[in-house]
């Protein structure tokens, strides 16, 4: 990939996304050779493997993110690309508000969670893909434990059992890592703070 036009102007590289692929690519580019613009509604890169640790409080959410603007010398627009004109090498962002020319376009927008057709997952489960998912799982986990503590005080053992039973759908890396984090949380934190529930 040539880095300059015949007139000496740096070539424009537009990167769509702020995930692993985008970060890896951007870090390898020399900003002295390319004019780089990152387009993404998410203003940070984050270390996905540690996301499950944020659900139980082992890892602070702030410890696993890196603002896009801090990564390297890139321009950043917090918006979504809504149209790509491959013929004219232009992208449109923000519902038509912004149009950018490019010499090279990198599409690194990631993937969507897959339910594998398992009934009820869409309605009743938390996904583990974004920072807000980790926060939602943590909130739900702690809320259920507090509710179970109240149910225990009221002598409602069936309700306690219902509230502290969790199902993990998916046996990939995220599901397995979450099971490990949850097991550690139960055997360490829950036993210390809520010994009657942990038993």
CA 150 to chain centre: 33
Domains of the chain: 11-107 (3.50.50.60), 121-198 (no CATH)
Strand, coil or helix: 122? helix
Q: What is the pLDDT of residues 28-87, one digit of tens each?
A: 998 889 999 999 999 998 888 888 998 988 888 888 888 998 877 889 999 999 999 999
* % of the chain beyond a pLDDT of 70: 95
Q: Order of strands, edge to edge, in the sheet holding 81-85?
A: 81-85, 90-93, 98-101
Q: What angle do CA 169, 57, 168 make, to 5 degrees?
A: 5
**What is the average per-residue pLDDT within 130-147?**
93
Mean pLDDT, the chain, as a whole number? Answer: 90
Going by pLDDT thresholds of 50, 70 and 90, the confidence category of residue 2 is low
Q: What is the pLDDT of residues 78-115, one digit of tens each?
A: 999 999 999 999 999 988 889 999 999 999 998 888 88
- Supply the pTM of this predicted model: 0.78
Residue 176 host element (H or E): helix 173-184
**What is the average per-residue pLDDT within 15-26?**
92
Q: How far is CA 128 from CA 47, 72, 113, 186, in A?
A: 12, 27, 8, 20
Tokens encoding 28:
């390898």
So what's the pLDDT on residue 46? 84
Number of residues in the chain: 199
DSSP assignments along 148-162, one per residue: HHHHHHTT-HHHHHH
Going by pLDDT thresholds of 50, 70 and 90, the confidence category of residue 25 is very high
So what's the pLDDT on residue 199? 74
Number of DSSP helices (H) and strands (E) in the chain, helices first: 9, 9
């Amino acid at each position: 990939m040539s880095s300059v036009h015949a007139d000496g102007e740096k070539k424009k590289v537009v990167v769509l996304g702020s995930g692993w692929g985008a970060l890896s690519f951007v870090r390898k580019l020399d900003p002295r050779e390319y004019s780089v613009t990152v387009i993404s509604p998410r203003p940070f890169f984050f270390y996905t493997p540690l996301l499950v640790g944020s659900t139980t409080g082992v890892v602070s959410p702030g410890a696993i993110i890196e603002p896009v603007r801090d990564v390297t010398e890139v321009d950043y627009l917090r918006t979504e690309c809504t149209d790509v004109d491959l013929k004219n090498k232009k992208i449109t962002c923000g519902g038509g508000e912004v149009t950018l020319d490019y010499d090279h376009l990198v599409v690194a927008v990631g993937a969507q969670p897959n339910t594998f057709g398992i009934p009820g997952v869409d309605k009743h489960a938390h996904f583990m893909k974004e920072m807000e998912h980790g926060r939602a799982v943590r909130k739900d986990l702690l809320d259920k434990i507090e509710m179970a503590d109240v149910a225990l005080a009221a002598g409602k053992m069936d309700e306690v059992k219902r509230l502290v039973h969790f199902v993990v759908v998916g046996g990939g890396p995220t599901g397995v890592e979450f099971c490990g984090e949850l097991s550690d949380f139960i055997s360490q934190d829950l036993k210390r703070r809520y010994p009657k529930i942990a038993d």
